[in-house]
Amino acid sequence: MSPVIVRVSRRFDAAPERVFDAWLDPATAGRWLFATADGQMQRVQIEARLGGRYAIVERRPNGDAEHFGRYLEIDRPHRLVFTLAMEEDADQGDRITVEIVPDGDGSLLTLTHEMAAEHAEYAKPAESGWTMVLAALDRHLA
Amino acid sequence: MTIPNGAAILNHMVEGNPQRLDAIFHALSDPTRRAMLRDLSGQQRSVGELAAPFDISLAAASKHIKVLERAGLVQREVQGRLHVCRLDARPLHAGVEWMRHYERFWNERLDALDALLKAEDRVAAAASPANARPANKPSRSK
């Protein structure tokens, strides 16, 4: 467990199942997940099972953007956890946790992006981590 | 914009000085040092004042402060018999920028997902007669 780096939340006017499936269905994921406006999707491979891998490669003006990882938890439609690395076969990498809860007739998604393991050794999980310090100082300096 | 891993972004942001980055992480990895930084974010402190809230010797406090100095987070100046420390938060901006980068990245991705789901809804709405709700659920056969 590494310290939390970034957390974003978003409400969708779509049922949790649809929001969840958009992460794992190759036809859908390739259109938004690591897709950028000026890029061209080259490769979308998703093994949507526990321990399965994914590879999403987009050709961009400044070179290929490659995203690889492995699914650590798949609990449709509530929770998806996967690693994110820039090299294929890298089991290290950042950890992304996607949590989805029903919200009226839509859903609320919270994504947590945790730092790669090579820096995790510096952080004590029992502590709220250095991000708190950064955030506090940032507020102070604002 | 491609999404290199966090370390790569941070290294880039501390102007190609990964040693400095490691020093920052190391400095922030200790709860006593984080508390000292929080203390310093409000005002200058002497070494004695910095050490006071903790059950540590002046020598131990001084060691912590040296680590903070090495990371460039604290400037120490001698005023008569007092060693006065003040915060230099500039190195932390790299970390804050890093977090903001990811926050922007994921918010853009979720914007794209939202747009995609809404577009699907519009297609579905156009395909079904206006204001008519199907009495039965559509069959799931493909």
Residue range B131-141, pLDDT digits in tens: 555 545 455 54
CB atoms within 10 A of CB A53: 17
Render pLDDT for A1-22 as a digit per residue (tens, 0 to 9): 445 578 889 999 999 999 999 9
Q: DSSP E strands: which ranges in chain B? A: 45-46, 74-79, 82-87
Task: Please list the residues that pair with B79 across neighbouring strands.
Answer: B82
Q: Which residue of B has its CA nearest to A2?
A: B29
- Mean pLDDT in residue range A82-95: 80
pLDDT in tens, B79-101: 998 889 999 887 776 666 666 77
Q: How confident is the model at residue A79 (pLDDT cuts 50, 70, 90)?
A: very high
The CA distance from A52 to the nearest CA of chain B, in Å, is 21
pLDDT over 90 percentage in chain A? 51
Over range A87-109, report the average pLDDT. 87
Give the residue from A11, A64, A122 with the most B CB atoms within 10 Å of its CB, the best one to mutate.
A122
> pTM of this prediction?
0.64
Say what the pLDDT of residue A60 is: 86
Minimal CA separation from A50 to chain B, in Å: 23
Q: How far is A142 from chain B (nearest CA, A)?
A: 11
pLDDT at residue number A34: 86
Report which of residues A45 and B2 the model is more confident about: A45
Tell me whether residues B89 and A116 touch, CB distance under 8 A: no
Name the DSSP class of A11: E
In 3D space, the residue among B46, B48, B70, B69 whose CA is nearest the CA of residue B59 turns out to be B48
Model confidence band, residue A124 (pLDDT cutoffs 50, 70, 90) = very low
Q: B55-82 burial by CB neighbour count: b if 16+ within 10 A, else e?
A: eeeeeebeebbebbbebbbbeeeeeeee
pLDDT at position B63 over 90: yes
Contacts from B56-65 at CB under 8 Å and sequence distance 24+? B56/B32, B64/B30, B64/B32, B64/B33, B64/B36, B65/B36
Vertex B14: Cα angle to B92 and B74 (nearest 5): 40
- Chain B partners within 8 Å of A130 (Cβ): 25, 28-29, 34, 95
